Amino acid sequence: MHRAARTASLALVAASALTLTACGGSGADVGADAKQTLTVWAMGTEGEKLGDVAKTYERAHPNVTVKVTPVGWDVAHQKLVAAAAAGKLPDVMQMGSSYLGEFADMGALEPVDTKTFEQGDFFSSAWDQGVYDGKSYGVPWYIDTRVLYYRTDLAKKAGLKGAPATMADLQKAARAYQDKAGTKWALSIQPSGLDAVQSFYPFLYSAGGAILDGKGKPVVNSPAAVKALENYGSYYSKGLSDKTFRPGYDVTKDFNTGAVPMFFSGPWIVGLLNDNYPDLKGKWAVAPVPADETSASYAGGSSLAVSADSSHKAAAKDFISYLTGAKGQADWYAATKDLPANTRAWQSGELAGDADMKVFRQQMQTAKALPAQPKLTEITSKVDDAIGAVSQGKSSAKAALDKAQSAIENLVG
């Protein structure tokens, strides 16, 4: 999108009190060796941790002062939109996968230098999250995917041997946990509400379905997607999963008591279980998503992007290279437990020998990312609505996804 179109797009989403500034950049790039201050915004835990890493970088680059501003995820989108409208985006910013398409479409992001950052160094699904309209705008920083957590001790009590290998096995295991091990629920999956789609992705992708195809065309009511939502909804209709949505629900508590013996989640749960429930050690394990047509989960995480109007692009590129290189990624994992997007960071050290993390790496090989879209958050919210309608018994999977398909068609270009 041209800069003029960028201004028009921003005007639609920015608060009316903001005055849009002319889009012409803030001057020529000062060069990586010049004395300068590099402004960086990072979100959540990453924002809190990045300042320490920046200090290490500064010691090796005394000409550069890195000013890191932590931003809460709850206000991140609003702050980025306001900053873009005012022409005051930071030089470097963390971009969640649902944001990047929007800001790339505005013209607010600098295309990635693909000679410096090579696609082959990263998990393909992590790289794909930074691509919009055929161009890369974000360098993968860390990754996230979902795998199956299950109670091995309760599995033995239920007469199960190992993790369920297929979606059919998952249903059988769920029934066995309830009937033979006496668990209250069998599988924790989100029934409705914001981002319920993240809980649905393993079912959708493993069935061969998708929300958007590779060209960004809506395909959420395909036979594969309908099959996946029918399977997902059956856990509620059969009483295997709790259909009550509880905001802020902490599944690890019920996993510890045995009320919930299985759930899908990301790598951060490993640390939570080890730290908060040490007595549970040896009684749980992780496994790949049970296969339908295949075993597939979704690829999440964040990228690092550079403002199109930055006058510190060379220094920004150098700092991002430091953060996304193999060593920088391994060091970042040690500090945060964020999984590296750079595949070479997995070849040595703690990650190379951790059995649990090997499962996440295996899952990343088939993980899928949604194509970047300016209205991606709105698009996925339509699938959230469909999931809620099915889990509450208000609609068939086909009717709910037909409704979502129609709504999404109006949101994509």
Contacts of 95 (CB under 8 A, 6+ apart): 103, 109, 130, 137, 138, 302, 303, 304, 305
Local confidence pLDDT in tens for the 413 residues of the chain = 333 333 334 444 443 333 333 333 444 789 999 999 999 999 999 999 999 999 999 999 999 999 999 999 999 999 999 999 999 999 999 998 899 999 999 999 999 999 999 999 999 999 999 999 999 999 999 999 999 999 999 999 999 999 999 999 999 999 999 999 999 999 999 999 999 999 999 999 999 999 999 889 999 999 999 999 999 999 999 999 999 999 999 999 999 999 999 999 999 999 999 999 999 999 999 999 999 999 999 999 999 999 999 999 999 999 999 999 999 999 999 889 899 999 999 998 888 999 999 999 999 999 999 999 999 999 999 999 999 999 999 999 999 999 999 999 999 96
* Statement to judge: residues 222 and 341 lie in one domain: no
* Statement to judge: residues 37 and 138 lie in one domain: yes
DSSP states of 270-338 as a string? HHHHHHH-GGGTTSEEEEPPPBSSS---B-EEEEEEEBTT-S-HHHHHHHHHHHHSHHHHHHHHHHH-P
* Statement to judge: residues 270 and 358 lie in one domain: no
- Enter the pTM of the model: 0.90
* Statement to judge: residues 109 and 203 lie in one domain: no
* Statement to judge: residues 291 and 192 lie in one domain: yes
Residue 247 in domain: yes
Q: Cα(384)–Cα(207) distance, rounded to whole angstroms?
A: 18
Residue 109 in domain: yes
Number of Cβ within 10 Å of residue 21's Cβ equals 13
* Statement to judge: residues 112 and 190 lie in one domain: no
Residue 2 in domain: no
* Statement to judge: residues 14 and 86 lie in one domain: yes
Q: Cα(104)–Cα(220) distance, rounded to whole angstroms?
A: 24
Residue 369 in domain: no
Structure letter (DSSP) for residue 122 = B
Residue 4 in domain: no
Q: Cα(38)–Cα(53) distance, rounded to whole angstroms?
A: 14
* Statement to judge: residues 116 and 22 lie in one domain: yes
* Statement to judge: residues 292 and 314 lie in one domain: no
Q: Which residue has the tokens 């009483």?
A: 239
pLDDT at 2: 36
Number of domains in the chain: 2
The CATH number that applies at residue 170 is 3.40.190.10
Residue 3 in domain: no
Q: What is the 3-class SS of 173-204, one letter each residue?
A: HHHHHHHHHCCCCCCECCCCCCCHHHHHHHHH
* Statement to judge: residues 165 and 233 lie in one domain: yes
The range of the structural domain enclosing residue 29 comes to 9-144+300-364
Residue 370 in domain: no
* Statement to judge: residues 91 and 138 lie in one domain: yes
* Statement to judge: residues 101 and 214 lie in one domain: no
Residue 1 in domain: no
